[in-house]
Amino acid sequence: MSEAGGPVFIGSEIYRGSSYGLRHPLRVPRVSTVMDLARSLGWLPQARYRTAPRAKPAALTLWHDPSYIEALQAAEAGHAAPDTLLSFGLGTLANPVFPEMFRRPATGAGGVILAADLLRDGGCIHVPGGGTHHGMPGRANGFCYLNDPVLGMLVLRRAGVRRIAYVDIDAHHPDGVEHAFAGDPDALLISVHEEGRWPFTGALEDDGGGNCFNLPVPRGFNDSEMRTALDDLILPRLGAFQPEALILQCGADALEEDPLSRLSLSNNAHFEVVAALKGIAPRLLVLGGGGYNPWSVGRCWTGVWAVLAGHEIPDRLPEAARAVLSGLHWGGGGRPPPAPGMLDTLRDPPREGPVRPEVRERLRRLAAR
> CA 119 to CA 114: how far, in whole Å?
9
Residue 126 annotated to the active site: no
- Diameter of the chain by CA atoms? 54
Which of 64, 134, 172, 270 does the annotation list as catalytic?
A: 134
Q: Is 349 exposed, middle or buried (0-12, 13-18, 19+ CB in 10 A)?
A: exposed
Measured CA distances, 161 to 119, 134, 165, 243, 279 (Å): 10, 23, 11, 9, 17
Kindly state the helix (H) or strand (E) to which residue 302 belongs, with its residue range.
helix 294-309
61 close to 153: Cβ distance less than 8 angstroms: no
Measured in degrees and rounded to the nearest 5, phi and psi for residue 62 equal -60, -30
> CA 114 to CA 10: how far, in whole Å?
9
Displacement of CA 244 from its chain's centroid (Å)? 20
Full DSSP string of 131-146: --TT-BTTB-BTTBSS
Q: Which residues of 137-175 are buried (b: 16+ CB within 10 A; e: fewer)?
A: ebbbbbbbbbbbbbbbbbbbbeeebebbbbbbbbbbbbb
> In 10 A of CB 210, how many CB atoms?
11
Pairing, β 164-168 against β 187-194: parallel
> CA 249 to CA 75: how far, in whole Å?
28
168 close to 177: Cβ distance less than 8 angstroms: yes
Measured CA distances, 52 to 31, 160, 195 (Å): 12, 23, 34
The residues annotated as belonging to the active site are 134
